[in-house]
Amino acid sequence: MLMISNLNKTYDNGVKALVDINLTIKQGMFGLLGPNGAGKSTLMRTLATLQSPDSGEILFNGHNIQHDPQAVRSHLGYLPQEFGVYPKISAFNLLNHFAILKGLTDKVTRLEQVNALLQQTNLYQHRKKAVSSFSGGMKQRFGIAQALLGTPKLVIVDEPTAGLDPEERNRFHNVLADISENTIVILSTHIVEDVSNLCPDMAIMAAGSIIKQGPPQKLLAQLAGSIWRKHVNKQEISEYQQQFKVISQRLVAGKVQLHVLSENCPAAGFEPVQADLEDLYFSAINGIAARGN
């Protein structure tokens, strides 16, 4: 179990990246959803012991990771938002190198795990190719393979599917779903669909704070009967935004589909719709933006 209590981080330029973060994360997939700049990567780096908070406490299975970073590092798999690879080194040799760095000194055991992870991430047939020549999706799958070396108990992946095509994203989702059966997996992303498809527990983060947290279905129940939809012309958008709490808009068949948050029918022409995770996300984020104004 991972317990985060009253975590704060302010950078030298005055940006408050983390503001009183409190989370309890259990085994399985946990989604951390938020826009770019919300503080997600700062939180992920802090959990990975790559930087220290200004205040607060992080306990991993009862061990304070600020006092004993090795307590989490020895059980950690981390895939950052961006990672580099050595040029001209094959996937097999590079993964084997990372395994040695991670302390897998027994050659037989190490090679078994390297081959198994290449199979699991569907890269075994490409094991002799240089990782630098891989597509974006293949590099991400290699990234999760290196994160899984040593059978970690905590896996952190930061924006892992950004830029991937639908087929690669599905492959990556399948890998994450498999490993989350016996591991804490924290998926940090701004892509609502990733959390919707994978995570039985989640939090929404904005402006350095956790603004919603809990099982998605429980959070969605809070919006029951409160989401209304209407198709309008583009020139009408500004008027509707002034009159109603518009949480999202998208272009559908030449018209703009508005979703409005309201306890009652906002006006003629609106129809009720069942709230989904995107509605939850935008209502939470737009609420923060409104308070900021």
Give CA–CA dist 25/21, Å, rounded: 12
Cα separation values, 179 from 12, 27, 185, 210, Å: 37, 10, 8, 26
Domain-terminating residue out of 168, 186, 213: 213
Report the b/e string of 149-180 with b at 16+ CB within 10 A. bbebbbbbbbbbbbebeeebbebbbebbeebb
- Domain total of the chain: 2
Range of the domain at 123: 2-213
Q: Are 55 and 7 in contact (CB under 8 A)?
A: yes
Question: What does the pLDDT look like over 43-69, one tens digit per residue?
Answer: 999 999 999 999 999 999 889 998 889
Among the listed residues 2, 6, 3, the one whose alpha carbon sits nearest the alpha carbon of residue 55: 6
φ, ψ of residue 244 to 5 degrees: the values are -130, 170
pLDDT value at position 5? 97
pLDDT value at position 293? 35
Helix axes 91-101, 107-120, angle to 10 degrees: 130
CATH at residue 120? 3.40.50.300
Given a cut of 50, is residue 14 above it in pLDDT?
Answer: yes
Global pTM?
Answer: 0.87
φ, ψ of residue 20 to 5 degrees: the values are 50, 55
Question: Any bridge partners for residue 90, and if so which?
Answer: 130
pLDDT value at position 288? 52
Give the chain's radius of gyration (CA, Å): 21
Instruction: Please indicate, yes or no, whether residues 228 and 205 belong to a single structural domain of this protein.
Output: no
Instruction: Please indicate, yes or no, whether residues 236 and 142 belong to a single structural domain of this protein.
Output: no
Question: What does the pLDDT look like over 160-183, one tens digit per residue?
Answer: 887 778 888 888 888 888 888 889
Instruction: Please indicate, yes or no, whether residues 265 and 161 belong to a single structural domain of this protein.
Output: no
Q: Are 79 and 160 in contact (CB under 8 A)?
A: yes
Q: Which residues are CB-neighbours of 214 under 8 A, at least 6 positions away? A: 201, 202, 203
Instruction: Please indicate, yes or no, whether residues 202 and 234 belong to a single structural domain of this protein.
Output: no
Domain-terminating residue out of 213, 243, 278: 213
Give CA–CA dist 135/125, Å, rounded: 14
Given a cut of 60, is residue 291 above it in pLDDT?
Answer: no
Domain-terminating residue out of 158, 189, 213: 213
Q: For the purposes of burial, counting CB atoms within 10 Å of the CB of 113, is it exposed (0-12), middle (13-18) or buried (19 or more)? A: buried
Instruction: Please indicate, yes or no, whether residues 75 and 209 belong to a single structural domain of this protein.
Output: yes
Instruction: Please indicate, yes or no, whether residues 114 and 90 belong to a single structural domain of this protein.
Output: yes
